[in-house]
Structure 1
Amino acid sequence: MNGMSMTTPLGSSSDVLFLMLGAVMVFAMHAGFAFLEVGTVRKKNQVNAFVKILTDWSVSTVVYFLVGFPIAYGISFLKPVKQILGDNQGYDITHYFFLLCFAACIPAIISGGIAERAKFWPQVTAGAIFAGLSYPLFESLIWGKNMSLLQDLFKSLGGAEFHDYAGSVVVHSIGGWLALPAVLILGPRMGRYVRGKSHPLPISNIPFLALGSWILAVGWFGFNVMSAGHLEKISGIVAVNSLMAMVGGVLAALIASKNDPGFVHNGALAGLIAVCAGSDIMHPLAAFVTGAIASIIFVYGFHIEQEKLKIDDVLGVWPLHGIIGSWGGIAAGLFGGEALGGLGGVSFVSQLLGTLAAIVFALVNGFLVYGVLSKTVGIRLDPEAEFNGADLSIHSIGAYPEDSIR
């Protein structure tokens, strides 16, 4: 045992381990995003989904390290390792790893909405802008170094700061509402709507979709529970509320969708997205109700989006992350109060204002970034490339090379 380990306070080491385990669990969720998308797109676009999400993760890692984390928390790692380690075993840089996993969710969420017809490098560029600039800026206003600028306003108007324990709004709502401009500017996939009539395109693989949902659900307990940041602040109620919201989402989707497997597995995610904000202050039964309502929002919201509004959002990321993330922010104000068995300390007015601020912020950023990219380099594959599929057009190989040879 070396001298450093003998003199390091156990508390600092425990916190570093706590955050590192949480980071690994949330990192694993990105495999869930990948399999969820791979199962939902057609075979000719499966390779693209895998490569796109891994590339977005890698680019997000670099830009959040160099730009995003310093914007959000005022901490730069462009200094000697001795200073990075400090006297707490490198807690700050481990915190970066954990919060990177949140930032990288933004391009992963958007990926599911724009699937099957988006150019590769323009989307990588957009993801870099969101993970390195847009998301960290909003993060700084809610969780980071600029909290007083917005939180003081919410407190003066609503009587409490905006509460988002694990990112229903900061992560999921922002991601879903950023995706909407991309989906609208791209337009629907070829053949999705013909002469005003809807022609749903088949998904490729229910087992992959289900696997993606399961991986996300398991990793979500790192997403929510480890948001405590320190081992001494861990809360068992967060774990059980996450569980109750998840099963509330599953059971509500089972009934509302009449046993549809796609909705059932997305229902689990709907519940987990909605409970993030108030998972530390709700009663478990309120978390169950929050998740059930979220799932119903998704089942009917997806139908309205696809069939009434004719928005070809492949995985339904706008209703799933955008609208349900917003519901999660509002639900924390409803069910987090003491009157309904919650811990208290929240304000419905503040929750509503914070949620609306996120929607406006994301829409402005989304239309600006995708509008500029669309007018300059273009963001959509040409018709022939889209028809052939993103796998062959972008990566020159399909998901099943043996089949291609035969």
Structure 2
Amino acid sequence: MEAFQTASDVFFVLMGAIMVLAMHAGFAFLEVGTVRKKNQVNALVKIIVDFAVSTIAYFFIGYGVAYGVDFFSNAAVLSGSAMVDGNHLFASSGYDLVKFFFLLTFAAAIPAIISGGIAERARFYPQLIATAVLVGIFYPLFEGMVWNNNFGFQDMIEGIFGVAFHDFAGSIVVHAIGGWIALGAVVSLGVRRGRYTKTGGLIGIPPSNIPFLALGSWVLCVGWFGFNVMSAQSVNGITGLVAVNSLMAMVGGILTALIAGRNDPGFVHNGALAGLVAVCAGSDVMHPIGALITGGFAGVLFVWGFNKCQAKWKIDDVLGVWPLHGMCGLMGGIACGVFGLEALGGMGGVSFGAQLFGSVTGAVFAAIAGFVVYGTIKRTIGLRMTEEDEFDGADISIHKIGAYPEDDLRAS
């Protein structure tokens, strides 16, 4: 029975890893549908290459930073079938390996999030350098603090507020970290040429393909149930509450974004993601009605934040990743300390003070990391494409082929 339980957990976590891996296709097509045609190939290549770089950085450096584990043992030890000095260093059936795979897909979401904010004008290889640094060092530093109590972070919060900081599936650890790093990247990069008039007026740049944008959102929504539900990381820990709360938050975000965004399809499809981002932290402790309210508020917050960024604050965040992941993630981490309370129908075991402290700490840490990493790259090797390359588009300038090669051939 013990062997069956372990094998079941391995399969369970593996399926979660595969579902979250599939979400990266969602990130890709969400960006493909939003950017102009001349940058669609670049969006696809960025996401898959960022994932490859993230895997290398997390395998050799990042996972050890977060959890103090390395993979420099033989395969028999890694799979748990052999012992070292009479002890199994790794769980049987390769459970620790699929756990790494699962957590890697979370880590790789950081550059996938950032990619949408810096689209259409970032140089390719400097961004890959940033990915390696962020996934290898900065992200796992905070991941280990929250999910492994590194530096006594959770002990400190529990000592102050009576309970630890709760982030079940990463509203803060993944989404807020990615979104607030993206803010530093977007500001360091600057606005796209032609985005604003000389007097500061906003010039509209429509999405290139609404069906692709919608497809990206749908793929992310489906994969999100692996992201959230399988964060339990064992069959015994699985609960339908997480699934239903994720569902309610998603539909709450859709409906409020529909109203606040005045039927705009971009807002509607991103509203679903806003709700899912916000519910991650408390999906295992909220009442479904609390999750619905959280998701609904996130949908409005995304629409407001996106409009403010583009029209008033002149932050040219192409996909709105700071409002979507940064703002909604921060709000969701804090909301866990409200709707997770027993007094509001939640499971309890959370505190508003602990959630506020942990959430704000994550946002501040990520914002500093974003400005440091991208600011350093900007001042050294350069972060932005030349004016000519930006005008021609990243597809031709970087990859030497467009999304529709036959059309390009006819045009020439």
Task: Tell me how far apart the structure 2 counterparts of residues 69 and 200 of structure 1 sit (CA, whole Å).
Answer: 42
Shift of 1:153: 1.4
Matched, 1:28 2:49: no
The yes-or-no answer on 1:164 pairing with 2:167 is yes
Matched-pair contact (CA < 8 Å) for 2:38–2:392: yes
| Secondary structure at the counterpart of residue 93 of structure 2 | coil
Shift of 1:70: 1.1
TM-superposed deviation, 1:368: 0.9
The aligned counterpart of 1:46 is 40
| 2:278 corresponds to which of 262, 274, 279 | 274
- Contact 1:72–1:145 (CA<8 Å) still a contact in 2? no
State the Cα deviation string for residues 283-312 of structure 1 (Å, max 9, x = none): 001100000000000011111111010110
User: Share of identical aligned residues, percent?
Assistant: 62
Q: Is 1:366 the equivalent of 2:370?
A: yes
1:2-401, aligned counterparts within 5 Å?
9-87=3-81, 88-144=92-148, 146=150, 149-195=152-198, 196-401=200-405
Task: Give unmatched runs, 5+ long, in structure 2.
Answer: 82-91
| 1:104-148 superposed Cα distances (whole Å, 9 cap, x missing partner) | 0000000000000000000011011111111011010000251x6
Asked whether the equivalents of residues 149 and 155 of structure 2 are also in contact (C-alpha less than 8 Å), the reply is no
Distance in 2 (alpha carbons) for counterparts of 1:170 and 1:242: 17
CA distance in 2, matches of 1:396, 1:42: 16
Q: For 2:153 and 2:401, how far apart are their aligned partners in 1?
A: 48
SS in structure 2 of the partner of residue 109 of structure 1: helix
Aligned residues: 399
Deviation at 1:255, TM superposition (A): 1.2
Aligned-pair CA distance for 1:97: 0.2
Q: Post-superposition shift, 1:194?
A: 1.4
Output the CA distance in 2 between the equivalents of 1:347 and 1:288. Answer: 20
Q: What is the DSSP-based 3-state SS (H/G/I as helix, E as strand, rest coil) of the residue aligned with 1:198? A: coil
Give me the whole-angstrom Cα distance separating, in 2, the residues matched to 1:149 and 1:235.
Answer: 29
Deviations 1:244-268 (A, max 9, x none): 0000111111111121100000000
When normalised by structure 2's length, the TM-score is 0.96
Letter in 1 for 2:155: D
Mapped to 1, the partners of 2:292 and 2:364 lie a distance apart of 29
- SS of 1:180 mapped into structure 2: helix
Corresponding residue SS for 2:236? helix
1:89, CA displacement in angstroms? Answer: 0.5
Matches of 1:180 and 1:93, distance apart in 2: 33
- Cα RMSD, aligned residues only: 1.0
Quote the offset at 1:83 in angstroms: 0.5
Give me the whole-angstrom Cα distance separating, in 2, the residues matched to 1:335 and 1:201.
38
> Residue type of the partner of 2:393?
G
Measure, in 2, the Cα distance between the counterparts of 1:183 and 1:301. 15
**Are the aligned partners of 1:248 and 1:289 in contact in 2 as well (CA < 8 Å)?**
yes
The DSSP-based 3-state class of the residue aligned with 1:197 is: coil
